Structure 1
Amino acid sequence: MNGTTPAADGRRDRVVVVTGAGRGLGRAHALAFAAEGARVVVNDLGTALDGWGRADGPDGPAHTVAEEIRAAGGDAVAHTGDIATEEGAASLVATALDTYGRLDTLVNNAGFLRDRMLVNLTGDDWDAVLRVHAKGHFLTLRQAAAYWRTLAKEGRPAAARVVNTTSGAGLLGGVGQGNYAAAKAAVVALTLVAAAELAPYGVQVNAIAPAARTRMTEGTFAGLTARPDEVSPLVVWLGSADSAGVTGRVFEAEAGRVTVMEGWHPGPTATAPGPGPGWTPATVGPAARALLTRATEPRPVYGARPPAP
C-alpha cells in the first residue's frame, strides 16, 4: 500500500470517490466535495436510466463532471469502470491510490431503475437492479475496507468514511419497485454490518435516503421539486472527519430537512402461557391480534392506495 499519511481532520484535502457521479445526486455530491477542497474520483458508466448502454468515452458524464471540477479550480479524475464487477471496484480504489496516494471517503451512489409491478417483473429486471445497488455497494466497500484495514494494521488508522445510498423505498417499500426496494433495504443492512465490522479500523459507515428530483425520481415522484445539491451538504459532512463518532446511522435528507431514521425496535410482546407446550395455532392468533392493537401502525408503502373508508 501507499506509504503516505492519511488525511488530516476536516473536509479539505480529502480524497473522495463518488460512484454514479456523472449526473443527478452523484454529480451534486462530487461538486460539493470539490468545493470544500477535496480531490474527487468521479465514477460513472454513463448508462441510461434503466442501466442499458454505456457512455464512457471522453465525452461521457464522468469525464464531463471531472472537467467541470477542474475548470472551477478543483482536482478530479474520471473513472468509467463498472463498480458491480470485481475488476471495476478494484480499479476504482486503485485509481484513487494511484492518482492521489490515498482514499479517505467512499460515497456509494450508482444505481438505476427497472420499475415493474411484481407480476410483470422479470428475473433479469430483478438481477440487474440488485446487482448495481446491492452488489455495487458491497464490492466497492470491500475494496476500500481492505485498504483501510491495511493502514490500521500498519499503525496508521485513517479517519475513513463511507456514505451509502438507500431510499425511502428501501425503508418503507414502493409499489412497482419490488426489486429496487429489496436492493435498497439490503444497502441498509450492509451499512449496519459494515459500521460494526470496520469500526476497529477507523472507518465510519452511514447511509442516506435522499429525496431530490433527478432523472431516476421524476417518473415516480412527479411533484418532487427538491434539488440534488440540497442533499449534498449532509453527504459532505458525513464524508468528512468533522462527523467523528457518527456511524451505523440512516438519514433521510431532502430540501431543508434532515431526519434520523429509526429502524426496527421491539414492540409489544406476549409470552406463551405455561406450563405446557407453549403456543398453539389456536392460542397464538388471538395473542398476536392483541399485540397488534397495542403496536404502532406502520407507515404506508410509497404509492400504496389508501384503505377504503
Structure 2
Amino acid sequence: MDKLPRILNSKTPKTYKNNKLNNANFGDFTHNDYQVFLHLVSKIGGVDEFGKYLQPEQLKREHILTAKDFSDVFNTDIHNTYRILNKACRKLMKTDLTLPRNESSELWQINVCSMAKYNKKEGYITIEFTDRIMLYLSQVRQKFVLYNLKEIANFNSLYTTRLYELIQEFKDTGYMLKSVEKLRDIFAVGDSFKLYSDFKRRTFDHACKEINNNHELNLGYEEIKEGRKVIAVKFVFKKTRIHKVTNQKTGIEKNFYIKPKQKTKKEIKQIARPKPDILEGQMSFQE
C-alpha cells in the first residue's frame, strides 16, 4: 500500500464536506451526535503540506476523538462527554445516509463507518470512515462547505447548526432559497411539527435568532407563498467578503474569505441577559 501524503494540520479544527452531504437527512442524530461527527470529520484534513487538494484515497480513514478534545471545543462537562462519545460511537456505526452520486438520478445508501469502538478507561472513540463516505468528505475546489468548529461551538440546537451549515454554501451571495419540504427533510423532523407555524417556530425561526446572537450575520427570512400556503423560505444574510491574493512565486491566485464577525462571549452574555420589565403604569419615551 502506498504511503499516505503528509497532511497539513490546521491550528483550529475545520470541518468540510460535499454540498450533497451538507443537505443530507441525518435521521435521529441528536445535537451531540452530530457534533461528534463534525469533530471527527475535522480530523481528516484535506490538503497536503504544500496546500494541494488531496483525493479521497489519499486521506486517512481511521481517527480518534478524545473526551478532552471534544470538551475543549464544545465546552461540555468532561464527565458528561464520556457518555456523549459512547452514545455517538454506537450511533455512527449503525447510520447510513441516502445520498445522490455525482449528477446522476441515483440515490445511494451509504454507511458512515466501517468500524467504531469506545475506550471507556481512556475516554476516547476510534472510528473508521467507509470508502464511500470519503467521497463526500474530501475537499474539492467547488461544491463543498468549510468552516471552523468554533463557529458553531456555542449553538444549543441541532437545527441552528444545520441552518448555519446550509447558508455557508451561499456565503458569497447573501441569500438562500429552500422549499419547506426540503427544510423538513434536512432538519429530519419526520412527522413532528405538522403545522407550518410549529415547524417554523421550533426550527428555523429559533435557529435564526441563535445564529444572530453569536454572529453579526443579520440573518433573516422571507416566506414564499403559493396562495395562502408557505411553500419556500428565502434566507438573507451578510455576504462573506472575498479577498483575492496572488502568490508572487507561483502566480497562482487564491480566494481568502472574510466572514462576518463572530461575537465574543461577553457580547453573547449581554444579549442573553434579561432586560428589566417596565412596571405597570410606567411608560418609556424616546426624545
TM-score with structure 2 length normalisation? 0.30
Structure (1/2) with the larger strand percentage: 2
